[in-house]
């Protein structure tokens, strides 16, 4: 139905700011003395984000959304092994390059208030993001922008309310002027007006030509500001689609998991599906969503679908749902 919307080929083929290709991340764990076990929570992630664009990444928790952010920044724990390719501005991101770029060119708005130093006043923490020039001045400006009072700056993190803590996290990421901003659940638990404002600031950054990755479980937030939405499940990207596909009755969505996610929204029926993502030590041989899928066939049990791309859309499914119809 979206093809009806006139979309002239205005999608200029600029190079992506960030291009993640077939990323996998494994963790080594010790079990029973010196016996090692390997978990692979990210199996095949693909995502690309262009300058001037907000790419929202939504999906079940544990689908690898946060790990992707941490992999891009190079801040995974030391027992992690990363395969696949992460390209930033056309060049592969090596650990050395990540260390040089993070906090400058690539900034993170983290998921948890645990990322704040619990023993440092928040105004000082925010100033750490400025490596040259007038740290105090920049901090004051960014506090003003996010409606944080001077008094709030003298707080320790535990004294901040959930909403204030969130604004401090956004402020500390934005202060360095990064060209790629990865916001990992920047708005949970915030008042709708504050959510709107925070998301508005992310949209603003994209409109200034920066690339913004918004990692969120909140499809409504994604719909508000994103250009495209990537849906993750069990460490794979199952679908990437323009925001328009998520509007209306959801039947433009092609992957059964995307459809289930849409139907689980409180405003769309609040309908859960049973089970959970497959355990990492017992992954299905075929499609990772097959055990919970509405529409799986025998074929889905045997083989893993690969990503099918068309322009800036992607779907990874052997039996994608038809537009306008509930079933295949």
Partner 1 sequence: MNLKAAGVGFRYGQGPWVLRDMDLEVEPGAVVGLSGPSGRGKTTFARVLAGYETPLEGKVTLDEGPLPRGGYSPVQLVFQHPERAVNPRWRLSDTLTEGWDVDESLLGALGVDPAWLDRYPNELSGGELQRFCVARALSPQTRFLIADEMTTMLDAVTQAQLWRVVMDAVKERGLGAVVISHEKPLIDKVCDRVVYMS
> Minimum distance from CB of 152 to partner 1 (Å)?
10
One DSSP character per residue, 21-67 reads EEEEEEEEEEETTTEEEEEEEEEEEEEEE-TT-EEEEEE-TTSSHHH
Residues 58-117 touching partner 1, rule: CB under 8 A, are 58-63, 66, 77, 111-114
Instruction: Tell me which of 118, 266, 298, 324 binds partner 1, using CB under 8 A.
Output: 266
Site string for partner 1, 33-62 (x = CB under 8 A): ------x------------------xxxxx
Instruction: Tell me which of 107, 171, 219, 222 binds partner 1, using CB under 8 A.
Output: 219
State yes or no: residue 281 binds partner 1 (CB under 8 A).
yes
Q: With contact defined as beta carbons under 8 Å apart, do 210 and 180 qualify?
A: yes
Size of the site for partner 1 (CB under 8 A): 49
Return the number of the residue (189 or 209) whose C-beta is nearest partner 1: 189
Distance of alpha carbon 88 from its chain centroid, rounded?
16
Return the number of the residue (115 or 227) whose C-beta is nearest partner 1: 115
| Beta strands per DSSP E along 259-325 | 308-310, 313-315
Distance of alpha carbon 172 from its chain centroid, rounded?
19
State yes or no: residue 267 binds partner 1 (CB under 8 A).
yes
Other Cβ atoms closer than 10 A to 140: 17
Closest C-alpha to 231, from 182, 175, 289: 289
- Residue 178 neighbours by CB under 8 Å, 6+ apart: 103, 104, 105, 106, 107, 210
Return the number of the residue (17 or 58) whose C-beta is nearest partner 1: 58
Residue ranges in contact with partner 1 by CB under 8 A:
27, 29, 31, 39, 58-63, 66, 77, 111-114, 161-164, 185, 188-195, 217, 219, 260-262, 264-267, 270-276, 279-282
């Amino acid at each position: 139905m979206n093809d009806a919307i006139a979309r002239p080929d205005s999608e200029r083929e600029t190079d992506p700011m960030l291009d993640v290709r077939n990323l996998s991340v494994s963790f080594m764990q010790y079990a029973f003395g010196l016996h090692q076990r390997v978990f692979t929570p990210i199996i095949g992630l693909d995502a690309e984000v262009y300058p001037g664009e907000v790419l929202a990444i939504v999906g079940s928790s544990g689908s690898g959304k946060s790990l992707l952010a941490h992999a891009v920044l190079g801040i995974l724990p030391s027992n992690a092994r990363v395969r696949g390719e992460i390209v930033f501005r056309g060049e592969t991101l090596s650990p050395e390059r990540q260390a040089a770029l993070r906090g400058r060119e690539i900034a993170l708005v983290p998921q948890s208030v645990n990322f704040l130093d619990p023993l440092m006043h928040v105004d000082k923490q925010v100033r750490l993001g400025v490596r040259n020039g007038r740290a105090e001045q920049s901090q004051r400006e960014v506090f003003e922008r996010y409606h944080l009072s001077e008094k709030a700056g003298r707080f320790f993190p535990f004294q901040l309310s959930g909403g204030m803590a969130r604004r401090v996290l956004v402020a500390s990421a934005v202060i360095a002027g990064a060209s790629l901003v990865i916001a990992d659940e920047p708005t949970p638990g915030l008042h709708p007006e504050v959510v709107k404002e925070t998301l508005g600031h992310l949209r603003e950054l994209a409109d200034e030509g920066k690339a913004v990755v918004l990692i969120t479980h909140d499809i409504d937030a994604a719909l508000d500001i994103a250009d495209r939405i990537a849906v993750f499940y069990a460490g794979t990207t199952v679908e990437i689609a323009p925001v328009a596909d998520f509007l209306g009755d959801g039947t433009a969505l092609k992957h059964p998991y995307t459809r289930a996610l849409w139907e689980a929204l409180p405003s769309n029926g609040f309908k859960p599906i049973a089970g959970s993502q497959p355990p990492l030590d017992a992954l299905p041989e075929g499609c990772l969503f097959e055990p919970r899928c509405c529409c799986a066939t025998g074929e889905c049990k045997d083989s893993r679908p690969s990503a099918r791309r068309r322009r800036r859309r992607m779907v990874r499914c052997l039996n994608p749902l038809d537009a306008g119809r509930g079933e295949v």
